[in-house]
Amino acid sequence: MLVFAAPGQGSQSQGFLAPWIEASPGLANRLAALSEACDRDLIQLGTAADEDTIRQTDNAQRLIVGSAIAIYREFFQGQAQAAVGHSVGEFAAAAIAGIISDEDAMRLVSVRADAMAKAAALQATTMAAILGGEPSEVEAKIAASGLYSANFNGAGQLVAAGSKENMANLVANPPEKARVIELKVAGAFHTPYMAPAVEELAEAAAGVVASDPEIPIWTNFDGSRVDSGSTFLEHIIAQTARPVRWDLCMEQLSNETAKVVELPPAGALAGLIKRGAPGASALALKNLEDVAKVDSL
């Protein structure tokens, strides 16, 4: 089963779109159309903007989803046998699976990005990756620190989120046999701190018609395969303030012996799959040369 995976926030890097656009003029046209839908110049963000600009939540989420959709349409249209996304990448996966249109995906991710940025500005919060340690002990340490387990990424990686004060204490007193690395993000995503963003996104999604998926798709909500488009849309709305269960998605990919192609900006998901989904194989599309490798995956 050939599965196309869309990455989440933090996967972007300065200028990553430039070589893709240079190689395919049609990609620029697709990005321009998606730019209109999300009120951002995706080409400028993906080629000329600096790291600080593309790190901003409102820019990063639009750029990541728009790039994944545009590159899939330009280079792989019709090849996906299944789709999956990590966090905000679920909007791109929903478009690839035919649940929502590309334009609706961009409009909704725009609402999500702006609403999450506003929610993050209400309190001083942050996130940190915890690498290693006994999973149950790590979760217990996070809870005891007054923080939330926000991203269950699998492969020995769990992301904690919450107040900066509590996070500073966790960084200074990490779980046994684990490292805590604070992330450069605007706030505590996928936690109750994002409740205001859920309300805004739900209101925007009320006007979107969701079709049932044309291909299999798994949800970060609980890792299950979802056959109802409206249910999938409900999940990605709620997921804004709920933990990302990428670990459970990887279990499904492993069980399906999936061949996973990670769309740009690629690298993080393929690495997790290689370490945490023994039954699956993965290819990160880091450059144009990787496109030819898909057929032999």
Q: What is the pLDDT of residue 184?
A: 80
Task: Give yes or no: residues 94 and 212 share one domain.
Answer: yes
CB 62 within 8 A of CB 31: no
Q: How far is CA 91 from the centre of its chain?
A: 8
Pairing state between β 157-163 and 178-182: unpaired
Catalytic residues: 87, 190
- The pLDDT tens digits for 253-281 are 999 999 999 999 999 999 999 999 999 99
Q: In whole angstroms, what is the distance from residue 285 CA to residue 231 CA?
A: 30
Same domain, yes or no: 206 and 175: no
| Per-residue pLDDT, 183 | 87
Q: How far apart are the first and last CA of the chain?
A: 11
Q: Once rounded to an integer, what is the mean pLDDT over residues 176-192?
A: 92
Question: Does one domain contain both 238 and 266?
Answer: yes
Round the average pLDDT of the chain to a whole number and report it.
96
Last residue of a domain, one of 134, 149, 182: 182
230: domain CATH number is 3.40.366.10
The amino acid sitting at 135 is: P
pLDDT band at residue 10 under the 50/70/90 scheme? confident
Residues 17 and 158 in one domain: no
User: Of 162, 182, 202, which one is at a domain's C-terminal end?
Assistant: 182
Are 73 and 17 contained in the same domain?
A: yes
Looking at the fold, whether 140 and 66 belong to one and the same domain comes out as: no
Largest CA distance in the chain: 53
Please compute the mean of the pLDDT values over residues 25-44 and round it to a whole number: 96
Specify the number of domains making up the chain.
2
Over residues 71-99, the mean pLDDT reads: 98
% pLDDT > 70, the chain:
100
Q: Indicate whether 66 and 80 sit together in one domain.
A: yes
Strand-pairing partners, residue 116, are none
Do 232 and 151 lie in one domain? The reply is no
Range of the domain at 130: 125-182
Angstrom distance (rounded) from CA 178 to CA 212:
42
Per-residue confidence (pLDDT) for residue 185, from 0 to 100: 85
Residue 212 to residues 70, 237, 252, Cα–Cα distance (Å): 21, 16, 20
Q: What is the predicted pLDDT for the residue at 25?
A: 86
Residue 82 has pLDDT above 90, yes or no: yes
Are residues 99 and 116 both part of a single domain? Answer: yes
Question: Does 186 have pLDDT greater than 90?
Answer: no
Q: Say whether both 152 and 20 belong to one domain.
A: no
Give dist(CA 127, CA 100) in Å, integer: 30
CA distance linking residue 216 with residue 239, whole number of Å: 19
Mean pLDDT value across residues 94-117: 98
**Total-model pTM:** 0.96
**Is a pLDDT exceeding 90 seen at residue 64?**
yes
